[in-house]
Structures are given as structure tokens and as C-alpha cells.
């Protein structure tokens, strides 16, 4: 086509004569169809503005408008840049408006083309989130029932445009669930597939919408059953995968339980099958990512997946994947939620690695046996270490996830992690990365590496971990603050004095106050735990109280007077009890009548846990073997404490009675304090209390943290033998209890929190833990 000629019809395009204009648009249509270069050139020339003008002109002929929409559709199908240019030219609002107008006029051919155009733009993935209202959505959904071409367009638009939870809700209210159910039953796979993507988009991370969708049905079959039908093995693979993604999302959003056969048999098996060697790379990557998401939380699903079809073995293949041959991309349509670029085969090895590491992370999250099988996977540790050191951020993140999952094993911490010196690249990631998600996950892992029995603890400390973590406590992201405090708490457990000093020095009392007034109760609890661990062993208590006694007492009063839950106050009382163990530190309490009154007050309030904690503190104060005990006893008796104790002796609460008997009367004195799960049944606590003979666990509760059921070996530095029950409690709580014969309460817990990223939906399910 020569330049003269091409100019010719473009001039005509601006003609006021509808006939000529139509002719010109027609010629334009033929010029741009199939030619990327021509599309680019037309867009560059700014012709889009004129086309949009033609669409919005009141008096435009319908045929002309249809022709214009055809041209725009063709342009949108070009490169993503072309679609972006169209969006920037203001195409979308006009199309939406035309669609609404068309609904009332019944312009079939025209609205079909408008829908096609919208579809093409949204499929390019560059369109902004549309401003939907109920009316517009209702219109769109009405179009979606027939004919097939409209169904396909509407499903695609919805699948790509539905991104926020508000949109999901709006879509549901406008009848999106019914439409999707209907589309799933379409005989045309061109409709079914985008309908599945749309369903996935609606369900993703949205419990309300998912639960509603799961109850919808079409033709007498509920949506989950329709999905299972589409997932059956004789269906096209992309269909199977898309249906599996939908069911996964429904499960994770809480609409289907993990033991539903549709999940544990059908979906899981389908996804594992998709990971096999004989599948395409994109299938394997998508299936792996989905599988990781599906099995992230449920121990049952992790168990099942780990034994299904040699999954762990199959995934080793992912790690070895090399950049594939530069083949033209297969024609496939991945879900817009998870879709990525699979065009560049150079990225394949990264994508495969990322997917495999995620799956390993999920599989090894809760079960030590599976974890050991994962760790034994050939080349896994090398991959993790290498990926940490030098890989793209998504792979790094997956590697840290995997490391985090594996760090829940004492055995691994002491062996494999030490062999591979994982702390080195991990620290490097922590110090260099800017991604909050990555740092959050890495700091969670660091918490576990800082457990006192971890050989990595020392070298990490040498790397300036204290300073770094104290810096993290000042971050705005609550997850980071939590992890940092948690790590510090673990670090302070039975730590040497210099470390404690270092923590106090770098953190500063100001920051402690700030953390104690943090709106996140978890951070508050961990900060109190940190204080408890800092204030342990007589010598340390005295030394620390000497320097910071005033601030610490202030902090405790702050907590005791604040509006806090019983668990928080219990922690504060435990700190007091620890302080009461110090020789000099006792005076800090004894000299503070306010505190003493508060303690007495807690002895009478109707909360057994607080009563116990307060009683412990008193019992430490009146411990007769220590210097100045008689004066303290006298003072307290004068204040009426003795009477209170006598009253408590008549308590009907057997636990309290036992404590009193053990601690107060038998002079076995100090509680060992430990943050553990308060979900521990009462009976167990009683039992434990008896076993430990004067050591009672102060149970606090870490909300929203799925704790790893870690099967751990006894730490060798533990001075006393553990009863099996102790270990059980450790497992139950995801934490380890270290009873000590006297002096100090210490807290250590294993950070098992997952980051609140895309994949995460933390749930409280400690009940399913087992030994």
C-alpha cells in the first residue's frame, strides 16, 4: 500500500459525509487486520481520537459505529502497548457507556463488537480497574447469557477486570455467580475456560463471595460439582487446571473444607498430576503454585500431597529445569490471577524453581517426617542457598519461604542448616532487600535460627543481628516489628549478659515503651516476653534493674493500668515475679506501694490466672531463705497479704490451691514463665503444674499464627530432664518450654508465622496438632 493511498482514506475519515466516512473506516479495518505495524502506525497518527469521536457522536450511523468498534477491537489485539495507548486515549469509559446505551436500544451487532473490543483490551492486562456500579454490571451480565460470542467476551472481561474484594462483592450481587454457573455448563470450551478464570477471580481470597458461590447451582448441579466435572481427566488439560484453581480458591476462602473429597481427592490429585514430567512447563508451574497454595495450611492436605504420585520426587525435576528451547509459546490461557509470562523460555528455570520451592515450603510446613523427606531432596539445599544469594526476588522469596518451613525442625537447624551455613545468605538478604514481604519472611526464619539450640545463633549475633533487629522494630510494617521483637525475645532467652545489655542498648527504653503501646497485641506480648527473658537469672535481674529499673517499673505499671486483656496483664505480673527474684530488684517492688497494692488487688479479682501470677510474685518476695525476707514478710503481712493468702487457700479452684500449696506454703518458689498457647486444655495445665512442682507456665496466646508442630530434640543445655509431656506442650504450642529450677522465667518460641502475603491466610487451628 503506497503512502498516497493510505493518506487518502485517513483524510476521508474526517469527512462529515457519513458515507465517505464509513468507506474510510472500512478501508482502515482492512488495513489494520493482522498487521501489527499498521496498528502501531495508526495509533501513532492519533487516529484513535477521531474513532472515539465517531463512537460518541449522537448522529453516527449504527453501521459506522460497528465498523469503528471493529477497528478498535483489531487495534486492541495488537501489542500490549497498543492496548495501553487505546486506554490512555480514553477508550474504556466510552465503551462502557456505549454498552449501557446499547442495552436499551437492542443494537445487537454493535454491542457484540463493543464487548469484543472490551475483551481484547482487558485481555492485554493493561486496563485499569474499572469503576463498576451495580447497574453497569447488571447490564454486562445480561449480555453474558447469549450468544456464545458474547458469553466468551463477558467471561473474559470479568475474569480480567475483577480484582478487588469490593469488585468481587459487586459482581456477586449483580448475579455474577449465576452467570458463571450457567457458562460452566456451556458446551463450548471457549466459554467454559474464561468462565473458570472469572470464577477464580471472584473467589480469590474472598470468603463471603466464595461461600455464596459454592451454594449456587445450575441445571441441578452445585458449582463445586460442576467444577469437579470440568476437572475430570478426559477434559482438556487447561480446563482441568483452571477448574482445580477455582476449587483451590474456594477451599482457601473457606467455602470447602480440606477433607471434602472434592478437595482432598479430586483437586489435589489433579494438581499433582499436572506437575508430572510429561506436561508443558507452564502447566507445571501453574500447577505447582496452585498446589503450594492449596496445601499451605492444612496438615491433612500436606500429608496426602506428600504421598501422592511421588510428588516430592517429581519436584526435584523442577529444580534442574534449564532454559528451554526458544519455541513459540503454546497457545494457552492461564488464569489472569496467576498468569505470567511464559513466552521467554529463559525464565522457565526461574519459574520452575520458584514453584517447586513454594510447594516444598507448603509440604514441610507442619510435619517433621515430610520435612525430612523434603530436606533429603537432592539439590534442594544448594538451590535454596544459591537462590538466596543470587536470584530474582520472586525466587528469593520462595527460597526464604522454604527455608522458613524447614527451620521449624530442630534437627535441621542443628545439621543441614549448619552444613550449608544458610544464615549467611539469609543475613545478606535481610540487609540488602527492600521488599517488605521478603524481609518479613526472612526475619521469621531468622527467629527460628536464633533459637538457643541453633548453632547459627552465635554467628548471626556476630553479624550485628541485634542492631539490625532493633532497627526492624521501628519499621512501619507490623509484621516486621513482630518478627523483630520475636527474634529478640528468642535471642534473649538464656542469653549471656552482654547480649542482653546489647539488646537493651540498641533497642533503648524509648523503643520498648513504643512497642508496649503498639496497637498490635502480638507485638505487645512478644515485647513483654522479651522483658521476661531479659529479666532472668538473679544476677542479670539485679544488673538490669540497676540500670533500667525505673523505666521497667514504669512500663509494667503502664501495662497493668492500661486497657489490656488478662493475658497481657498476666505477662506483666510475670515480669514482676521475675523482678521479685532478684536480690536488689526486690526493693524496687517493695518500695513501690502502688505496685504492692496492685498485686494484692490481682490476688482477689476473679481471674485464676492473674491470681496465680500475683501470688507467685508475692511468694518470691516472701521467700524466707533470702536476706531481708522477714522485713518483707512483715510489711506484707501488715498490708494484709497474709489474710488474702489464707482466703485463697479456701479456694474451690484446685489449680489455684495447688499453686498456693506448692509455691507459697511449700516454698517452692518461682514460676517459670513461658509464652505458650492458652488453648492448652485446663487439665493439661493442671497436670503440668503438678509435674513441674512449682513451675507453672504462664500461657499466652499468639493469635493468628499457625504454629508448626515441631518435633524437637531436647536442647542439650537444658539442666533438667524433660518429661515427655513437656515436649508435647512444646509441640502443642509450637514453642518449647524450659522449666528451670529457679529464678527466672524465660520465653522462647519458634516463629512459625507466615507472612501476610498473597498466599497467606493464617488460621487458628492449633487443635489438630499432634505429637
Partner 1 sequence: MATNSGRCSSEPSGFGSAGTPDPIKALYPMVNEEETPLPRCWSSKDKFSFIGLSQNNLRVHYKGHGKTHKDAASVRATHPIPAACGLYYYEVKIVSKGRDGYMGIGLSAQGVNMNRLPGWDKNSYGYHGDDGHSFCSSGTGQPYGPTFTTGDVIGCGINLIENTCFYTKNGHFLGVAFTDLPPMQLYPTVGLQTPGEVVDANFGQAPFVFDIGEMMREQRSHIRTTIKRFPVPDTHGEWQTMLHKMVSTYLVHHGYCATAEAFARSTSQDFDEELTSIKNRQKIQKLVLAGRMGEGIETVQRLYPGLLENDQNLLFMLKVRQFIEMVNGTDSEVRAVSRSPRQSHESSPSPSCWSNGPSNSNSSSVIQLHTSVIQSTKSSNGQSSSTSTTNNTLDDMNMRNAQEVTSNSSSNGTAVITTPASGVDSDAEMECIESNGHSQDNGHSNGFFNGYSKHLDPEPQETDAMDVEGNGKGRKMCGGNPAAMERMLGFGRELQRMSQVLRRELGKNEQNKKMLQDAFSLLAYNDPWNSPVGWQLDPIQREPVCQALNSAILESHQLPRRPPLEICVAHAKQLISLMSRKGLGSCAFASVESILNQ
CB 332 within 8 A of CB 395: no
Shortest Å distance, C-beta 362 to partner 1: 17
- Taking the least distance from each CB to partner 1, the nearer of 236 and 771 is 236
Cβ contacts of 31 within 8 Å, gap of 6 or more: 1, 6, 9, 38, 42
- Taking the least distance from each CB to partner 1, the nearer of 367 and 567 is 367
* Ramachandran angles phi, psi of 151, nearest 5°: -55, -45
Q: Peptide bond before 338: cis, by omega within 30 degrees of 0?
A: no
**Torsion, CA 500, CA 503, CA 507, CA 508, rounded to 10:** 40
Centre a 10 Å sphere on the Cβ of residue 708 and count the other Cβ atoms it contains: 26
Helix (H, G, I), strand (E, B) or coil at 221: strand
Shortest Å distance, C-beta 354 to partner 1: 24
Shortest Å distance, C-beta 306 to partner 1: 9
β-bridge partners, 217? 222
Rounded Cα distance, 15 and 704, in Å: 66
Rounded Cα distance, 685 and 688, in Å: 5
- Taking the least distance from each CB to partner 1, the nearer of 5 and 233 is 233
CB 227 within 8 A of CB 247: yes
Rounded Cα distance, 733 and 731, in Å: 5
Rounded Cα distance, 558 and 362, in Å: 41
Shortest Å distance, C-beta 295 to partner 1: 13
- Taking the least distance from each CB to partner 1, the nearer of 317 and 551 is 317
Helix (H, G, I), strand (E, B) or coil at 58: coil
CB 759 within 8 A of CB 405: no
Shortest Å distance, C-beta 416 to partner 1: 19
Shortest Å distance, C-beta 280 to partner 1: 16
Shortest Å distance, C-beta 331 to partner 1: 17
Shortest Å distance, C-beta 244 to partner 1: 14
- Taking the least distance from each CB to partner 1, the nearer of 81 and 378 is 378
Nearest 5°: the CA angle 185, 186, 187 is 115
Per-residue burial over 712-740, b if 16 or more Cβ lie within 10 Å, else e, is beebeebeeebeebbbbbbbbbbbbbbbb
- Taking the least distance from each CB to partner 1, the nearer of 229 and 324 is 229
* Ramachandran angles phi, psi of 222, nearest 5°: -70, 155
Chain residues binding partner 1 by CB under 8 A are 232-234, 265, 268-269, 272-273, 304, 307-310
CB 519 within 8 A of CB 553: no
- Taking the least distance from each CB to partner 1, the nearer of 4 and 234 is 234
- Taking the least distance from each CB to partner 1, the nearer of 304 and 619 is 304
Cβ contacts of 547 within 8 Å, gap of 6 or more: 504
Rounded Cα distance, 83 and 721, in Å: 69
Shortest Å distance, C-beta 233 to partner 1: 4
Shortest Å distance, C-beta 234 to partner 1: 4
Tell how strand 217-218 and strand 221-222 pair up: antiparallel
- Taking the least distance from each CB to partner 1, the nearer of 240 and 664 is 240
Shortest Å distance, C-beta 309 to partner 1: 4
Cβ contacts of 618 within 8 Å, gap of 6 or more: 599, 603, 636, 641, 645, 664
Rounded Cα distance, 361 and 399, in Å: 8
- Taking the least distance from each CB to partner 1, the nearer of 32 and 272 is 272
Shortest Å distance, C-beta 569 to partner 1: 47
Shortest Å distance, C-beta 266 to partner 1: 8
CA–centroid distance for 74 within its chain: 41
- Taking the least distance from each CB to partner 1, the nearer of 310 and 643 is 310
- Taking the least distance from each CB to partner 1, the nearer of 300 and 626 is 300
Distances, alpha carbon 238 to alpha carbons 186, 309, 436, in Å: 16, 20, 34
Cβ contacts of 532 within 8 Å, gap of 6 or more: 571, 574, 575, 578, 673, 745, 746, 747
- Taking the least distance from each CB to partner 1, the nearer of 51 and 370 is 370
Amino acid at each position: 500500500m503506497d503512502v498516497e493511498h493510505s493518506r487518502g482514506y485517513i483524510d476521508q475519515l474526517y469527512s462529515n459525509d457519513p458515507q465517505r466516512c464509513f468507506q474510510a473506516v472500512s478501508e482502515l479495518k482492512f488495513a489494520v487486520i493482522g498487521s501489527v505495524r499498521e496498528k502501531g502506525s495508526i495509533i501513532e497518527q492519533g487516529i484513535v481520537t477521531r474513532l472515539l469521536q465517531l463512537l460518541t457522536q449522537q448522529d453516527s450511523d449504527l453501521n459506522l459505529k460497528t465498523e469503528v468498534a471493529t477497528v478498535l477491537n483489531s487495534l486492541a489485539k495488537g501489542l500490549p502497548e497498543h492496548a495501553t495507548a487505546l486506554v490512555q486515549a480514553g477508550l474504556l469509559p466510552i465503551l462502557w457507556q456505549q454498552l449501557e446505551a446499547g442495552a436499551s436500544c437492542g443494537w445487537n451487532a454493535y454491542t457484540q463488537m463493543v464487548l469484543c473490543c472490551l475483551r481484547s483490551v482487558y485481555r492485554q492486562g493493561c486496563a485499569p480497574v474499572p469503576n463498576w456500579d451495580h447497574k453497569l454490571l447488571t447490564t454486562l451480565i445480561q449480555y453474558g447469557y447469549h450468544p456464545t460470542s458474547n458469553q466468551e467476551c463477558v467471561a473474559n472481561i470479568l475474569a480480567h477486570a475483577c480484582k478487588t474484594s469490593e469488585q468481587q462483592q459487586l459482581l456477586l450481587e449483580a448475579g455474577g455467580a449465576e452467570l458463571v454457573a450457567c457458562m460452566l455448563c456451556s458446551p463450548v470450551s471457549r466459554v467454559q475456560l474464561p468462565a473458570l478464570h472469572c470464577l477464580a477471580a471472584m473467589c480469590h481470597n474472598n470468603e463471603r463471595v466464595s461461600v455464596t458461590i459454592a451454594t449456587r447451582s445450575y441445571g441441578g448441579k452445585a458449582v463445586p460439582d460442576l467444577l469437579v466435572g470440568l476437572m475430570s481427566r478426559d477434559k482438556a488439560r487447561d480446563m482441568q487446571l483452571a477448574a482445580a484453581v477455582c476449587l483451590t480458591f474456594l477451599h482457601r476462602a473457606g467455602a470447602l473444607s480440606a477433607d471434602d473429597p472434592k478437595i482432598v481427592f479430586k483437586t489435589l490429585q489433579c494438581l499433582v498430576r499436572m506437575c508430572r514430567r510429561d506436561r508443558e512447563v507452564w502447566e507445571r508451574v501453574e500447577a505447582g503454585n496452585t498446589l503450594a497454595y492449596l496445601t499451605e495450611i492444612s496438615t491433612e492436605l500436606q500429608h496426602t500431597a506428600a504421598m501422592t504420585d511421588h510428588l516430592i520426587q517429581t519436584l526435584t525435576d523442577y529444580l534442574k529445569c534449564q532454559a528451554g528451547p526458544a519455541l513459540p509459546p503454546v497457545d494457552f490461557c492461564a488464569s489472569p490471577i496467576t498468569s505470567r509470562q511464559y513466552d521467554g523460555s529463559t525464565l522457565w528455570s526461574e519459574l520452575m524453581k520458584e514453584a517447586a520451592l513454594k510447594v516444598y515450603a507448603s509440604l514441610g510446613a507442619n510435619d517433621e517426617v515430610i520435612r525430612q523427606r523434603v530436606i533429603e531432596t537432592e539439590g534442594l539445599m544448594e538451590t535454596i542457598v544459591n537462590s538466596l544469594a543470587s536470584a530474582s526476588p520472586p525466587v528469593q522469596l520462595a527460597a526464604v519461604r522454604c527455608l522458613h518451613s524447614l527451620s521449624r525442625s530442630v534437627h535441621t537447624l542443628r545439621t543441614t542448616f549448619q552444613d550449608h551455613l544458610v544464615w549467611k545468605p539469609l543475613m545478606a538478604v535481610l540487609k540488602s532487600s527492600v521488599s517488605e514481604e521478603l524481609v518479613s519472611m526472612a526475619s521469621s526464619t531468622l527467629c527460628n535460627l536464633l533459637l538457643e539450640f541453633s548453632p547459627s545463633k552465635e554467628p548471626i549475633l556476630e553479624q550485628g543481628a541485634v542492631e539490625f533487629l532493633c532497627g526492624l522494630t521501628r519499621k512501619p510494617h507490623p509484621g516486621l516489628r513482630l518478627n523483630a521483637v520475636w527474634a529478640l525475645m528468642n535471642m534473649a532467652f538464656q542469653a549471656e549478659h552482654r547480649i542482653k545489655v546489647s539488646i537493651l542498648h540498641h533497642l533503648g527504653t524509648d523503643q520498648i515503651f513504643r512497642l508496649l503501646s503498639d496497637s498490635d497485641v502480638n507485638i505487645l506480648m512478644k515485647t513483654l516476653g522479651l522483658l521476661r527473658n531479659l529479666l532472668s537469672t538473679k544476677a542479670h535481674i539485679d544488673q538490669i534493674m540497676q540500670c533500667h529499673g525505673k523505666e521497667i517499673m514504669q512500663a509494667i505499671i503502664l501495662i497493668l493500668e492500661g486497657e489490656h486483656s488478662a493475658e497481657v496483664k498476666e505477662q506483666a505480673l510475670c515480669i514482676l515475679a521475675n523482678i521479685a527474684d532478684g536480690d536488689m530488684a526486690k526493693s524496687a517492688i517493695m518500695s513501690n506501694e502502688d505496685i504492692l497494692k496492685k498485686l494484692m488487688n490481682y490476688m482477689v479479682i476473679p481471674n485464676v490466672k492473674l491470681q496465680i501470677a500475683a501470688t507467685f510474685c508475692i511468694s518470691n518476695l516472701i521467700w524466707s531463705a533470702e536476706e531481708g525476707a522477714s522485713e518483707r514478710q512483715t510489711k506484707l503481712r501488715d498490708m494484709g497479704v497474709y489474710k488474702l493468702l489464707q482466703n485463697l487457700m479456701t479456694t474451690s479452684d484446685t489449680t489455684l490451691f495447688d499453686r498456693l500449696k506448692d509455691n507459697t506454703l511449700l516454698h517452692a518458689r518461682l514460676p517459670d514463665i513461658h509464652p505458650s498457647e492458652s488453648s492448652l486444655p485446663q487439665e493439661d495445665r493442671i497436670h503440668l503444674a503438678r509435674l513441674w512442682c512449682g513451675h507453672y507456665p504462664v500461657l499466652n496466646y499468639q493469635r493468628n499464627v499457625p504454629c508448626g508442630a515441631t518435633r524437637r530434640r531436647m536442647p542439650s543445655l537444658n539442666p533438667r530432664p524433660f518429661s515427655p509431656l513437656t515436649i508435647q506442650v512444646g509441640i502443642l504450642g509450637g514453642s518449647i518450654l524450659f522449666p528451670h529450677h529457679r529464678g527466672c522465667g524465660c520465653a522462647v518460641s519458634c516463629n512459625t508465622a507466615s507472612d501476610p502475603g498473597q498466599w497467606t491466610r493464617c488460621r487458628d487451628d492449633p487443635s489438630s496438632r499432634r505429637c
